[in-house]
Structure 1
């Protein structure tokens, strides 16, 4: 399938053809040379925000080194596909992620994008223990989307990332004092590793439940078309 960018008019034409039941999903994707995931993404965005939701951003995207490393680690874990990681971390394209993976596998450092970083990437703010708990829990319940969480709560990406890691390792109590560094995974004891694995399983189950709900929604759309 083509990876070229598509105009709003093109996306609207595809969605209109889909809604008018002119073709099956497979026929539609073949006719317009698009991937089925693109089709469903456009439908979802159009339902949420109308025509404006189909607008492609022309702004230069910036990413922190922490975000890049987290995205690459998630993909290399085998738990997520390229598409899932791109969606989870709000990365502009799969090719951008592939570039990070290639660099990471070549043992080269993943650096901040550079000038023009957003405020949430560049600096944080002072927070209370209650805020840190709320932010960590929100992030974990929403697929560990660190950047979206940082934007929502007006804190830095790095803050969210480290609060989640602390919460996973030692629970809410670990967030009472936000000074000091977070342990690296290689420093965890066997008991700590088991604790984190259990937490990750809980959040993964929640993520899978959310994905199943999304698939049910798509299936319902398909049933209404028949």
Structure 2
């Protein structure tokens, strides 16, 4: 599967926002899942244009950051998605690990 750049992701999301197509129609048109589209939307909301850029390297997180993220999750104050955006963790799977 080819990588989709930030500008193309934004254009795809704008098709939904402008009411041109629904989420399912856009997902089918581009061979994506609803989950992928939702993830892109959340990243743009949190990080702006930068959120749509392709990651070329893995981020290394300090033990302190990992501990704080886990403590925030266990406190019940934040959802998994709030935590991964707060600490710039790539996914909920990475948070769980």
Normalising to structure 2: TM-score of the pair? 0.69
Measured after TM superposition, the shift of residue 34 of structure 1 is 2.3
Task: Give the match for residue 57 of structure 1.
Answer: 55
SS at match of 1:62: coil
**Cα distance change of structure 1 residues 40 and 67 upon mapping to structure 2, 3 Å threshold:** same
Task: Give the match for residue 88 of structure 2.
Answer: 90
Bigger relative CO (Cα 8 Å, ≥ 6 apart): 2
SS at match of 2:34: coil
Work out whether residues 44 and 51 of structure 2, in 8 Å CA contact, stay in contact via their aligned partners in 1.
no
Task: Give the match for residue 40 of structure 1.
Answer: 41
**Cα distance change of structure 1 residues 70 and 43 upon mapping to structure 2, 3 Å threshold:** closer
Work out whether residues 80 and 92 of structure 2, in 8 Å CA contact, stay in contact via their aligned partners in 1.
yes
Structure 2, unmatched stretches of 5+, are 28-32
Work out whether residues 86 and 92 of structure 1, in 8 Å CA contact, stay in contact via their aligned partners in 2.
yes
> What's the CA shift string for 1:34-72, capped at 9, x where partnerless?
2364253254378x44xx552122112101111111101
Measured after TM superposition, the shift of residue 89 of structure 1 is 0.7
How many residues align? The count is 88
Task: Give the match for residue 7 of structure 1.
Answer: 4
Structure 1, unmatched stretches of 5+, are 100-226
Work out whether residues 15 and 43 of structure 1, in 8 Å CA contact, stay in contact via their aligned partners in 2.
no
SS at match of 1:97: helix
2:68 to 64, 67, 70: 70
After TM superposition, the structure 1 = structure 2 runs for residues 155-170 of structure 1, keeping only pairs within 5 Å, are: none
Task: Give the match for residue 176 of structure 1.
Answer: none
RMSD: 2.8
Normalising to structure 1: TM-score of the pair? 0.33
Measured after TM superposition, the shift of residue 13 of structure 1 is 4.2
After TM superposition, the structure 1 = structure 2 runs for residues 133-148 of structure 1, keeping only pairs within 5 Å, are: none
Work out whether residues 65 and 87 of structure 2, in 8 Å CA contact, stay in contact via their aligned partners in 1.
yes
Larger radius of gyration: 1
